[in-house]
Structure 1
Amino acid sequence: MREIAGAIWTPQLAAGWNMNAEVAGVLSQATDQILRCSEAFALVPRPPGFVPGLGYLVQYWKNLRDYFLVVKDNRTYRACVVATAANYRSIIEMASAGI
């Protein structure tokens, strides 16, 4: 989970977070948001109507990390990752703190 969080935000931020169930839930939501935003650029297969849960994150973490890193560097789709990172930053910080 830390690798995925590091790809969305930064590895330095993710290193300080407590990777608990609440953080996993936030990562699932953020992952879903990024994948929906960048649907046309789908490097990671995503079944229709599927919200990625903890099992998906665990199974596909390398694919997701690589996908987010590629998308982050692509000018067109960078907005998907940056907007999601901004929208979920406070939420993931609170989840990490158990709030």
Structure 2
Amino acid sequence: MREIAGAIWTPQLAAGWNMNAEVADVLSQATERILQCSEAFALVPRPPGFVPGLGYLVQYWKNLRDYFLVVKDSRTYRACVVSTAAYYRSIIEMASAGI
């Protein structure tokens, strides 16, 4: 989970977070939002109508990390990652703190 969080935000931020169930839930929501935003550019296979849960994050973490890193560097699709990171930043900080 830390690798996925590091690809969305930064590895330095993710290193300080407590990777608990609440953080996993926020990562699932953020992952879904990024994948929906960049659907036409999707490199990660996923079944239609699927909300990525903890099992999906664990199984596909390398694919997701690589995908987010590629999309983040693409000028066109960078907005998907950046806007999601901004939206969920406070939420993931609170989840990490158990708030």
The TM-score by the shorter chain falls in which range? over 0.9
Residue 3, structure 1, aligned to residue 3, structure 2? yes
Q: Which residue of 2 aligns with 1:66?
A: 66
Unpaired segments of 5 or more residues in structure 2? none
Deviation at 1:22, TM superposition (A): 0.1
Deviation at 1:46, TM superposition (A): 1.4
Q: What's the Cα RMSD here?
A: 0.3
Output one character per residue of 1:29-78: Cα deviation in whole Å (capped at 9) or x when no partner: 00000000000001001111100000000000000000000000000000
Aligned equivalents of 2:5, 2:15: Cα separation in 1: 9
Q: Which residue of 2 aligns with 1:20?
A: 20
Aligned equivalents of 1:38, 1:46: Cα separation in 2: 13
Aligned equivalents of 2:33, 2:46: Cα separation in 1: 12
Aligned equivalents of 1:70, 1:80: Cα separation in 2: 12
Matched-pair identity in % = 93
Give the TM-score normalised by structure 1. 1.00
Aligned equivalents of 1:36, 1:46: Cα separation in 2: 11
Give the TM-score normalised by structure 2. 1.00
Unpaired segments of 5 or more residues in structure 1? none
Q: Secondary structure at the residue paired with 1:75?
A: coil
Q: Which runs of 4+ in 1 moved over 2 A?
A: none
Q: Secondary structure at the residue paired with 1:49?
A: coil
Deviation at 1:27, TM superposition (A): 0.1
